[in-house]
Amino acid sequence: MTTKSKTMRVFEGLLESPLNSLVEQASADGRIPIGYSCSFVPEALLMADRLFPVRLRAPGIAGTEIADNYLSNFICSYARSLLEFAMDDRFDLIQGWVFVPSCAHMQRLYDNLEYLKKPAFSHILDVPRKVNEVTTVWLAEELRMLADRLSSHFGVDMSDGSLMKAISEWNSFADVIQSIGDLRKRPDPPITGTEFHALLMTSLASPKDLILPTILDFRTEIEKRDGIKNYRARLLMVGGHLHDPEFIHVIESQGGLVVADRLCTGFIPGLKPIEMSGDPIRTLAEHSFKKTLCPRMMEDFDRRLTTIIETAKEYNVDGVVIEIIKFCDLWGIDSMPLVSALRKEGIPVLKLEREYRMGSEGQLRTRVQAFIESMGK
Amino acid sequence: MTVSAANAKSLFMRLPGQVKGFLRNSLAGYILESKNLKDSLIYAKYWALIWAVILKFVIRLLFKRGPIGIIRVLVGYPWILHLLRVTGLMRRLSRGRSGLYLKSICMTIYTIAFTLAENLEDVFYHPDLLIINEEMVPPDIARAMGLKVWLLEAMGILLPILAAQSDLKYIDEAENAGINPDACSLPKATVGMVLKGHMPKGIAMVSSNMPCDAGMASYSLIHREHGTPIYRLDVPSNFYNERADKLFADDLKGMIAWLEEHTPGRMDWDRLKEICEGRNRMLELELELWDMIRMKPAPLAAEAVFLSHMWHFNLFAGYKLSIKHFESLVAMARKNLTAGIPATKNERYRAVLWNPPFPHFIDIFNKSERAYGVTLINDSMTYHHHAPIDTSTPDTMLRGLANTIMQGPMVRHTRGPAENYLDDIFRMYRQFNLDMVWVANHVGCKSGQAMNGILREKCRGMKIPLLILDYDLLDPRIVSQDGMMNQVEFFMENVMKAQRLDQ
C-alpha cells in the first residue's frame, strides 16, 4: 500500500476535530457555518452567499454519558455522540442547525437538542419517504421555507441567482472529487479506500473553496503514483454514516481494497452534478431525492439494490461490505433482504454491525480476514 | 432410565399441577372461586357465547372446506390454535372484578372473539378480495371498496395476549434470518410469520411509514416474500397544517386509484359515508365514556376501555357490533356512576399507561389493581382525539380520514416535535384526574426511549409520579413477568409508599 503523503496528513489533521481550522478561518472571515447531519440536506443550498455547510461529526468521542441519560443507550451512537458534543460546546462555531427526521434517532436528537440547548437557529426539513411529482413539489416547498428562514435570520442572499451560483460551485467541486473517485475503477487504483474516505470526509467538514486547493494538489500527486497491486480483494462499502477512515483502514490492512462506496458520506450516487436549468429550488429537491439511497425511502429498495449491483460491476468488485451502526432499524432491517438479494446475484457479502466511534478492531480484522478468505482470495 | 421413560415420568409428575391449573381456569373453577351467583352467571353467559362463536366457526369451516380443509388451515395457520385460549384470557382478566365491570370486560373479550372469527372467515372464504394492510392503515376505505382486509400485525399483538410465549418462534425465525435483534419485536414477529408462511398473502398490500422505522422497513422484505403489489402511504413528519392535510388526503386518493387498478374493489362513497358515520358514532360514545371515567372513582376502567379501543377502532371501526359494544359500555358506565358503584372497590391510584400496553402480560393491571388499588383509567393507544369526520362530500371524508390517521396514537407521538408526545401525557393527566404516569418502556421502541430523559425531568418538575417500566413488547425473555411485577412493586412501595391490599 502507499505511504502517507503530505496532503493526506493535512486531511487527517482537518478531521481530528468537529470544527477544523478551515471552519475557524471562514468563520473569522464573517462566513456562517451551518451544521447538518443528513444527506437529504442539499449542501449547495447551504453554500449560498456567506453560508457554508459543515457535516456534523464527533471525532474522537470518548463516551456519551450525558446523551445516554437523555436519548438512552438504545439510540444510534452517532445521534448520541452529536448530542454529547453539543452539550460539551464542541460545535460552538456552528450558527445554524438543519435536521431531517430521516429516522426516529435524528428526530429525537433534534427534540433533545431543542430541550437541552436550543440553538439560535435550527430547522427541520420534512423530507417525504417516497418520490413522485407531489412529494417533489412538497420537498421544494420545504427547501424554499428553509431558504427563506436562512435569509431572514442571517440576512443572506438566497435569491435564484445566488442559489444558481452556489449550485455551480458545488458542481465544480463535486466534479473534482468525482474525477478522483473514477480513478478507483482502474485495475490498479492509485488511491486506497482509506485515503479517498479521508478526502471525502474533509470535503464534507470544511468550506469547499478553502479545501479545494489541497484536493487539487492531492489529485496531481496521485496522478503520478503507481497503482496499488498488492491487494487481495476489491471491496464495495455499503451503509449509512461512516466518518472515521480508520474503519476502512482496518479493512484494508487485511488485504481488502475499498474501491467504491455507497455510504451516506460516500460518493455513490451523491456526487452526481445538479441540473443547472429551471428553478434552482426545484432542481435541488429533485437532486436530493436522486443522490440519496437511504432505506428510509420506502419505495427505493430496488433502486438501492440495482445501484449496488451496477456499482459492483462497474468497479469490478469482489465482495460487498455492509456496515451498520448498531440500533439503526432502517439499515438493520433493510440489509436483511439486501444481503439475500446480493447473494442471489452471486456477490459475496459481509455484514458488520458497529458503533459510531472506532472500536473492536481485533474482531473487525478477524471478520474481514475470514470474509476475504471465504472468497478464495 | 431411558429418555422417553424420563419424559413420561416428568409429564406424569406435572399432570396434577396442570389439571389443577386447568380446573382453576375453567368455568367450574370460576364459579367455585367467585362465590357470587350474579358474577357467575355473567361469566358463564360470555363463556358460552365465546364457545358458541368458536363452534360456529369450526362447523362452518368443516362444511365449507371439509376435514382436509381444516387440516390445511391448521398447517397453514398453526397459531389459530392459540385462539382457543380466549376464555383463559377472560378468566385471567376477570379475577377480582365484579358486577358491571366484570360484564364490560367479558363483553369486550366476546366481541373480540366474534369479530375475529368473522375476519378469519374473510381470509378463508374470500381470498380473491383479500388485501393486506399494515397495522396503522385503517381498513375503512378498503372495506368501502368491497374488499376484505387483514391487518398483518394484528396476530403478533393478539397471540401473546392469549399465550405469553406464542410469538417467540416467530421472533427467533426473523432474527435467524438476519433481522437486527434490537428492532421492535412486533415487526420481528410479523416478519417471522411471513417467513414461515403463516400469514395470508392477499391480492395486494397497503403499508405506510407508520408508526416507526422498523415497521416501515420490514415491508421491503414482506413485499419481496409475498410478491403481491404494494402501495405505501407516507405521513409527513409535521402534519398539523393544511399543507400536510392536503398531501396525505391526495395520498389516500392515490391509494384508492391504485386499489381500483390492482384489485376487484370499486369505491362506494355511500358505503364509506356509512363507515365514517359509524366511526363518528363510536368516537362520540367513547368521548362520553371518557367523560364518565374522569370521575373519581371511575365507573369502568382498564381492559374495558383500552382493549375495546385497540380492537374496535383499529380493526372494526363503524361495524354495527363495535358501535353496539360502545353503546353498552356507555350504558354500563352510566349505570355504575348513577348507582355510585366504582369499577374497582379499592380505587386508590389512577394511572395512565403511555406507549403500547403489555401484550404478554396483559393482566399486569388486574394484578396491580388487586395488589395496590391501581386503576388504569386510560392509555396512549386509546387517546385518539380528533374531530369527527365530515361526511358531506368524498373530499371532506378523505380529509377527515387523513386527519384521523395522522393524529392516530403512535403516529402522532412518533412524528413532529416532542410536544406531540409530551403534551398528550400532561393533558391526560389533568383530564382524567390521575395520580401517576406509567411508561411502557418497550426496549425496541427507540422513539419512546429517547423521550424518557425529558419526560423524567418534566414529571419531576410537575411532581407527577412516573414509573418507567422496562419490558419488551412481545418477548417475555427480555424482561419476565416477575421482573415487570417487581418494578411495579418497587415503585408502589418506595415512591408511592403504598400498602398492599392483598396481604
A113 and A171 in a single domain? The answer is no
d(CA A253, CA B285): 68
User: Which cell goes with B66?
Assistant: 371439509
What mean pLDDT, rounded, does chain B reach?
94
d(CA B475, CA B169): 10
Chain A residues touching B191 at Cβ < 8 A: 333, 336
pLDDT of residue B132: 97
Q: How confident is residue B384, by pLDDT bands cut at 50, 70 and 90?
A: confident
User: For residue B338, what are the contacts with CB-CB under 8 A and spacing of at least 6?
Assistant: none
Give bridge partners of residue B471 from the DSSP assignment: B442
A10 and A103 in a single domain? The answer is yes
Q: Does residue A289 belong to the interface with chain B, where contact is any CB pair within 8 Å? A: no
Q: In angstroms, what separates the C-alpha of A301 from chain B's closest C-alpha?
A: 7
Query: Mutate which of B213, B258, B447 to test chain A, going by most A C-beta atoms within 10 A?
Result: B213
Residue A163: burial class (beta carbons within 10 Å; 0-12, 13-18, 19+): buried
Asked whether the beta carbons of B350 and B301 are under 8 A apart, the reply is: no
Q: How many CB pairs under 8 A join A and B?
A: 142
A357 and A221 in a single domain? The answer is yes
Give bridge partners of residue A98 from the DSSP assignment: A36, A123
Binary contact (B247, A134; C-beta < 8 A): yes
Query: Mutate which of A123, A143, A302, A333 to test chain B, going by most B C-beta atoms within 10 A?
Result: A333
pTM for the whole structure: 0.94
Please say if the pLDDT value at position B17 is more than 60: yes
d(CA A53, CA A39): 11
Asked whether the beta carbons of B206 and B231 are under 8 A apart, the reply is: yes
Smallest Cβ distance to B237: which of A69, A72, A126?
A: A126
Q: Give CATH 3.40.50.11900 domain extents, chain B.
A: 126-495
Q: Quick: pLDDT tens for B186-223.
A: 999 999 999 999 999 999 999 999 889 999 999 999 99
CA-based Rg of chain A, rounded to a whole angstrom? 20
Chain B residues touching A351 at Cβ < 8 A: 178
Identify the domain containing residue A367 by its residue range.
Answer: 162-189+217-374
Domain final position from A107, A128, A154: A154
Sign of CA pseudo-dihedral B304, B309, B311, B316: positive
Smallest Cβ distance to A298: which of B209, B214, B418?
A: B209
3-class secondary-structure state, position B438: strand
Q: In angstroms, what separates the C-alpha of A63 from chain B's closest C-alpha?
A: 17
Binary contact (A129, B234; C-beta < 8 A): yes
In a domain, A360, yes or no: yes
A129 and A253 in a single domain? The answer is no
On the question of a cis peptide bond just before residue B67, with omega within 30 degrees of 0, the verdict is no
For the domain that residue A226 is a member of, what is the CATH number? 3.40.50.11900
Q: How far is CA B213 from CA A157, A296, B244, in A?
A: 37, 7, 20
Binary contact (B237, A295; C-beta < 8 A): no
In a domain, A203, yes or no: no
Please say if the pLDDT value at position B328 is more than 80: yes
In a domain, A315, yes or no: yes
pLDDT of residue A277: 87
A177 and A49 in a single domain? The answer is no
Query: Mutate which of A108, A134, A294, A326 to test chain B, going by most B C-beta atoms within 10 A?
Result: A108
Least Cα distance to B219 among B333, B319, B136 occurs for B136
Q: What is the pLDDT along chain A (377 residues), one digit of tens a residue?
A: 456 788 999 999 999 999 999 999 999 999 999 999 999 999 999 999 999 999 999 999 999 999 999 999 999 999 999 999 999 999 999 999 999 999 999 999 999 999 999 999 999 999 999 999 999 999 999 999 999 999 999 999 999 999 999 999 999 999 999 999 999 999 999 999 999 999 999 999 999 999 999 999 999 999 888 999 989 999 999 999 999 999 999 999 999 999 999 999 988 877 889 988 899 999 999 999 998 889 999 999 999 999 999 999 999 999 999 999 999 999 999 999 999 999 999 999 999 999 999 988 999 999 999 999 999 88
With cell 409535521, the residue in question is B238
Q: How confident is residue B60, by pLDDT bands cut at 50, 70 and 90?
A: very high
Residue B237: closest CA among chain A residues belongs to which residue? A126
Asked whether the beta carbons of A195 and A259 are under 8 A apart, the reply is: no
Q: In angstroms, what separates the C-alpha of A20 from chain B's closest C-alpha?
A: 30
Q: Which amino acid, residue B332?
A: M
Could you tell me which residues of chain B have a Cβ less than 8 Å from any Cβ in chain A?
177-180, 182-184, 187, 191, 207, 209, 212-214, 216-221, 223-224, 232, 234, 236-238, 243, 247, 250-251, 414-415, 417-418, 443, 446-447, 449-454
d(CA B317, CA B409): 15
A170 and A117 in a single domain? The answer is no
Chain B residues touching A118 at Cβ < 8 A: none
Residue B503: burial class (beta carbons within 10 Å; 0-12, 13-18, 19+): exposed
A181 and A60 in a single domain? The answer is no
d(CA B307, CA B291): 18
A74 and A185 in a single domain? The answer is no
Q: What is the mean pLDDT of residues B53-75?
A: 95
User: For residue B410, what are the contacts with CB-CB under 8 A and spacing of at least 6?
Assistant: B136, B210, B211, B212, B356, B380, B381
Q: In angstroms, what separates the C-alpha of B72 from chain A's closest C-alpha?
A: 29
User: Which cell goes with A344?
Assistant: 442471489
* Interface predicted TM-score (ipTM) of this complex, two decimals: 0.93
Residues of chain A numbered 138-167 and touching chain B (CB < 8 Å): 138, 141
Binary contact (A126, B454; C-beta < 8 A): no
In a domain, A355, yes or no: yes
Binary contact (B417, A114; C-beta < 8 A): yes
Residues of chain A numbered 305-334 and touching chain B (CB < 8 Å): 324, 326-330, 332-334
Q: In angstroms, what separates the C-alpha of B216 from chain A's closest C-alpha?
A: 7
Instruction: Count how many domains chain A has.
Output: 2
pLDDT of residue B1: 64
Architecture per CATH, domain B126-495, reads as: 3-Layer(aba) Sandwich (3.40)
Chain A residues touching B451 at Cβ < 8 A: 108, 111
Residue A128: closest CA among chain B residues belongs to which residue? B236
A69 and A184 in a single domain? The answer is no
User: Which cell goes with A240?
Assistant: 449509512
In a domain, A211, yes or no: no
A170 and A271 in a single domain? The answer is yes
